[in-house]
Amino acid sequence: IQVSGVFSDHMVLQRERWVPIWGWAPPGERVWAEGSWGSSAETKADKSGKWSLTLRTRAAGGPFRVSVGGMGTTKTFEDVLVGEVWLCGGQSNMEWPVGNIGYQPPIEGADYEVAAANYPKIRLLQVPRAGSDVPLSNLNLAWQTCTPDTVKTFSATGFLFGKNLFQELNIPIGLI
């Protein structure tokens, strides 16, 4: 069984919603998913091997585990949080990084922000530019816990917004 690359350890799932999980398996194979907070679902892979299902999340919290399995194979994702997930998008200034990465000057106060960026309940998912003439079905990405090392190359606007949300709400925050 294969699960979409958007799913990884350390991810944040949107609270109190039906969240999709999808992937590939042999055609007709029964596929199941279970969140350690008590939600489960199952489906079958279609003729081309694609499958999808949804799990209902709960109120903000964690860490949890999400397990996805099929015939004799189980993939378990660890340290999964449930909270607020935000897509950081916009003009090119959204790509301006928190730290000094060589080709762009850092934000004002970057040394302080980078050194203080020890937020285990803020998770970052950085999506690289990937041009394609056809829709991509899998990107093989990995969520990262917000640390001084991971925040340097992340969107300054996205991070500062997420940090403010975390300080205001005191729940896990996922930034994409």
Strand partners, 173: 84, 122
pLDDT of residue 55: 97
Q: Summarize the chain as % helix, strand, coil (round to 5).
A: 15, 40, 45
DSSP 153: T
pLDDT of residue 106: 78
pLDDT of residue 127: 86
**Confidence at 52, pLDDT banded by 50, 70, 90:** very high
Is 120's pLDDT higher than 80? yes
7, two tokens: 């799913």
Q: Give per-residue burial for 91-130: e unless 16+ CB within 10 Å, then b.
A: eeeebebbbeeeeeebbeebeebbeebebebbbbbbeeee
pTM of the model: 0.91
